[in-house]
Structure formats: structure tokens, C-alpha cells
Amino acid sequence: MAEASVDLPAEILLSKRVQEMVLDKKEPPAPYKCRDDADSEDDDPISMSPIPLIDLGCLLLSTSEVPAQEIVEVLEKINAALSSWGCFQAIGHGISNLLLDKVRQISREFFAQPMEEKKKYAKTVVDFEGYGADPVPEEGQSLDWSDRLFLNVQPEDQRNYKFWPMTPESFRDVLLEYTDEMKRVTELISRAMAKSLNLDENCFLKQFGERSQLQARFNYYSPCKRPDLVLGLKPHSDGSGYTIIMQDEVGLQVLKDDKWYKIPKNPHALLVLMADQMEIMTNGIFKSPVHRVLSNSERDRISVAVFYTPEVGKEIGPEDGLVNERTPKLFKMVKDYADTHFGYYQRGMRALHTAQA
Ligand code: OGA
Ligand code: NI
């Protein structure tokens, strides 16, 4: 990981949360300005979004209850979506609307609290966990117009409850319930992805390991007067295995064939987004797409991203069943790739080339 800079201006700047700058009615300071492509934005209506939408409902039932053909069709859709887009919006995932609404509600309530309250959970500039922004970036990097609360949720012994908000009162219980659902949904999706590639259904779960990690990142995107200059989150791919995102407003975009596509608003859908480690494990078949979040001049936005990552210290690599004479190994075995990824992310770069065979 990149070493923390002791550069004073950066320290001062980062000690200020984006939400405070909004309250102060200040113009965005220079490090937040990182956009120069606003003119080229294609404002196609959200209803036209081609992001695949897949109903996972039939995968929740036992195979005797569903016609085999129906399952085959869903697996084909998953394979097609992840090979071309690297993501899909999932419905029929089995998480109740009520719980999804509660997760959005506790996120909104947490960020709406006075700064003194939120700062009880403040992270230090070099840490990941807690309330704040990314660890101190290096010179000349752009900053994101957003504030975050980042928490390790799985394995249980990796939780640092001092960062888990006491208010709103239901925060912990709702997050625990959501964590259980994320465990269930990541198992379901990991098996479905394996089957869609004609692999042993447990192969990815084995690579993620018994102590696979789940980390929740609650993102709060304040309105910004200059959405033409400032991004809520800079373009990046994720360093996890894959990521599951819920949002309450539009703003997230995925890059495909040099064009940005909006993820439509759909309050009870979850975005399943491949990250670099799934691209490695599928030997490049599933794509880890670059994505970013626009800022908005009027509306704020909440999202909760759950990163699903192989266990610490575990080597992962391309599945043997996907490597043959016609499709040679594209990646080598790697471990703790998320750390390597982060060092590059800080500089606005991708890290996948470090895993090339
Ligand atoms: C992330 C991310 C998207 C969003 O946290 O890595 O891409 O909609 N979030 O907040
Ligand atoms: Ni991301």
C-alpha cells in the first residue's frame, strides 16, 4: 500500500469532510476537480439503459421445482452479461424489499447526523475502516466528492465494533441482517457463475476460502455545484472478487466499449459487479469493468457497496477448467491482490497487469 504523505495541506484538506464543505457553501477546491469530459456525455434516457437485468428467482428453488430449461436460460444470461458488461442488475435475489429499504434508511440517517456524532467513528487518514475518505492520497491525485463509512463485516472476528455506529439505533442490527443476506447471495451467485461456465459449482467458493471477506462501504454523495468538473467517485475497477451494490439514486456508470452507461434506478435491484479477482479466476472471461459515479448539482445520493474478497493470504488464480491449448493462462496465481490494487487505485490506475501470466 502507498505510504501516507505527511504533506500538511493534504492533511488539512482531508480532515474536512465533503459534507462540511457543502454546508460551508464553498467552491470545490482544486484536488476535487478531475473531469474534463462532461461535454462528451451521452444523455440517453435511463429507460434506454441496456444494462442486463436478471431475475435470479428460479435459482432459489430446489431443482425439482423448476423446469431445467429455465435454469439453463438464467445461467446463459449471467454468462453473457458478465462476459460482455462485467455486471448485471439482479432481482429475485431473495432479499426482502423491507430489508433493502431499512439499509437505505439507516445509511441516510447516519450521514444526516451532526458532524460531531459521525466523527465518533472517524477513521485516521491511513486507515480503511471508519468514517471519512480514502487514506491520504499521493501528490497530485484527484479526490472524490463523497464521504464514506467503511466496515469489515465478515469474518466476524475481523469486525471492529468501535466503528459501527450506535445511532441510528437500529444500525447494527440492520447491518448484521444485511451481512447474513450478503453471505447467502454471494454463495448463490458464486455457484451460479461456476455453473454458467460448466465448472464444479463450488470452485469459486473454494478459491474465496472459508474465511472469505465481506466489507461494507456506505457512500454518501453530497450535491455538488460543479458536476461538470467534479466526480463523486473517480473511474476505477474494484480490487475485490466481486461487489454487490445497492443505490437510491442514479449516478453510477459503467464503461463499455469507451462509452459510459448509467445503472438505472431500481430500488430493489442489486448491481452484481465483477472485480479484478473474478477476472483472474475466470481467466479473463468475466470482465472487471471500469466504473465511476457522477456528482449531481441538486440531489444527494446513497449507495452501499459490499466487497466480497478471497480470504487473507490465500492464493487464487485461473480455474484449470478454463485453461487449455486454445485459451492459455492469462493470469498467474496471486494473493492479497486487493492490497496491490489499492496502491494503483490511489494513483488512478488499474492493477490487473501485475497479475498477468
Ligand atoms: C465503490 C463503488 C459505486 C457507488 O464503492 O467501489 O464503485 O454507486 N461504488 O457508490
Ligand atoms: Ni467500485
Q: Which residues pair with 54 in a beta bridge?
A: 90
Residue whose grid cell is 485459451: 327
Can you give the pLDDT at residue 38? Answer: 65
Rounded to whole angstroms, the Cα distance separating 163 from 122 reads: 8
Rounded to whole angstroms, the Cα distance separating 293 from 262 reads: 9
Q: Cite the beta strand spans of the chain per DSSP E.
A: 53-55, 87-91, 130-132, 147-154, 213-221, 231-236, 242-247, 252-256, 259-262, 270-274, 291-294, 301-309, 315-316, 334-335
156 DSSP 8-state letter:
G
Proportion of the chain in helix, strand, coil states, percent, rounded to 5: 35, 20, 45
User: Can you read off the three cell numbers belonging to residue 121?
Assistant: 467513528
Handedness of CA 337, 342, 343, 345 (dihedral sign): positive
Query: Smallest Cα–Cα separation from 347: which of 126, 139, 95, 93?
Result: 139
Query: How far does the centroid of ligand 2 lie from the alpha carbon of residue 291, in Å?
Result: 6
Query: Smallest Cα–Cα separation from 144: which of 69, 252, 2?
Result: 252
Write out the chain's pLDDT in tens, 357 residues: 333 333 434 444 445 677 777 656 566 777 776 776 765 454 554 445 699 999 999 999 988 899 999 999 999 999 999 999 999 999 999 999 999 999 999 999 999 999 999 999 998 777 789 998 765 656 666 788 899 999 999 999 999 999 999 999 999 999 999 999 999 999 999 999 999 999 999 999 999 999 999 999 999 999 988 888 899 999 999 999 999 999 999 999 999 999 999 999 999 999 999 999 999 999 999 999 999 999 998 999 999 999 999 999 999 999 999 999 999 999 999 999 999 998 898 888 899 999 999
The neighbourhood of ligand 2, an ion, using CB within 5 A, equals 238
Can you give the pLDDT at residue 253? Answer: 96
Which atom of ligand 1 is found nearest the CA of 251? 8
Rounded to whole angstroms, the Cα distance separating 300 from 12 reads: 24
Q: Where are the domains of the chain?
A: 2-355
Query: Smallest Cα–Cα separation from 348: which of 306, 292, 297?
Result: 292
What is the residue with the minimal CA distance to atom 5 of ligand 1? Answer: 305
Can you give the pLDDT at residue 2? Answer: 37
Testing ligand 1's pocket by substitution, the residue of 265, 271, 293 carrying the most ligand atoms inside 8 A of its CB is: 293
Alpha helices in the chain (DSSP H): 8-14, 18-23, 68-84, 97-112, 115-118, 171-196, 203-208, 276-281, 337-345
Rounded to whole angstroms, the Cα distance separating 314 from 161 reads: 25
Question: Which superfamily, per CATH, for 2-355?
Answer: B-lactam Antibiotic, Isopenicillin N Synthase; Chain (2.60.120.330)
What is the residue with the minimal CA distance to atom 1 of ligand 1? Answer: 305
Query: How far does the centroid of ligand 1 lie from the alpha carbon of residue 305, in Å?
Result: 6
Can you give the pLDDT at residue 207? Answer: 98
* Number of neighbours of residue 336 by Cβ within 10 angstroms: 16
User: Before 168, cis peptide (omega within 30)?
Assistant: yes
Can you give the pLDDT at residue 10? Answer: 46
* Number of neighbours of residue 117 by Cβ within 10 angstroms: 14
Query: How far does the centroid of ligand 2 lie from the alpha carbon of residue 76, in Å?
Result: 25
DSSP codes, 162-180: GGS---STTHHHHHHHHHH
Handedness of CA 42, 43, 44, 50 (dihedral sign): positive
Query: Smallest Cα–Cα separation from 331: which of 317, 310, 344, 311?
Result: 317
Q: Cα–Cα distances in Å, from 168 out to 65, 81, 122, 333?
A: 41, 37, 16, 43
Ligand 1 pocket: which residues have CB below 6 Å? 217, 219, 233, 238, 245, 247, 252, 291, 293, 303, 305
Query: How far does the centroid of ligand 1 lie from the alpha carbon of residue 334, in Å?
Result: 24
* CA-based max dimension of the chain: 64
Rounded to whole angstroms, the Cα distance separating 95 from 348 reads: 34
Closest ligand to C-alpha of residue 233 is 1
User: Can you read off the three cell numbers belonging to residue 13?
Assistant: 484538506
Query: How far does the centroid of ligand 1 lie from the alpha carbon of residue 247, in Å?
Result: 9
Q: Return the C-alpha torsion angle 235, 236, 237, 242, nearest 10.
A: -90
Which atom of ligand 1 is found nearest the CA of 263? 8
User: Can you read off the three cell numbers belonging to residue 258?
Assistant: 469507451
